[in-house]
Structure 1
Amino acid sequence: MSATGTLLYSAELIQEGGVYKLVVTDRLRHTVQTAYIPRRAVEQIPTFLSKLDSKQLNGFR
């Protein structure tokens, strides 16, 4: 998959020991937000991404 257009946000998921840190960068405002998230939320990321890409969200697009 290739990306075209303007990058608005980028996200990194970092594991530090047994702790997961989500770092989201707002590329337009040049700000960074960090949140520590539980392992269970990390395990749900593939499911969440699949739902975003599914036809069930036609009204969301």
Structure 2
Amino acid sequence: MSATGTLLYSAELIQEGGAYKLVVTDRLRHTVQTAYVSRRAVEQLPAFLSKLDSPHLRGLRRR
């Protein structure tokens, strides 16, 4: 998938041993935030991402 436009944020999910670290970079402000997340949260990411693209939410977004 290719994207056009301005990159605002990027995120990486890093596994460190048995822990998961989420690193979010704000590309406009040049800041980085890091948070450790549970394995359960990591396992639920695909479901969460699919909900963001659901038809129910499409009315909230401008395309």
Question: Which band: TM-score by shorter chain?
Answer: over 0.9
Match of 1:47 in 2: 47
Structure 2's unaligned 5+ residue stretches are: none
Q: Which amino acid aligns with 2:42?
A: V
Match of 1:30 in 2: 30
Query: What percent identity do the matched residue pairs reach?
Result: 85
TM-score, normalization: structure 1? Answer: 0.96
Alpha-carbon distance in 1 for matches of 2:34, 2:42: 14
Alpha-carbon distance in 2 for matches of 1:2, 1:55: 21
Match of 1:9 in 2: 9
State the SS of the aligned residue for 1:29.
coil
Aligned length: 61
| Consecutive aligned runs of 4 or more in structure 1 exceeding 6 Å deviation | none
How far does residue 56 in structure 1 lie from its aligned partner after superposition? 1.3
Structure 1's unaligned 5+ residue stretches are: none
Alpha-carbon distance in 1 for matches of 2:29, 2:21: 21
Match of 1:56 in 2: 56
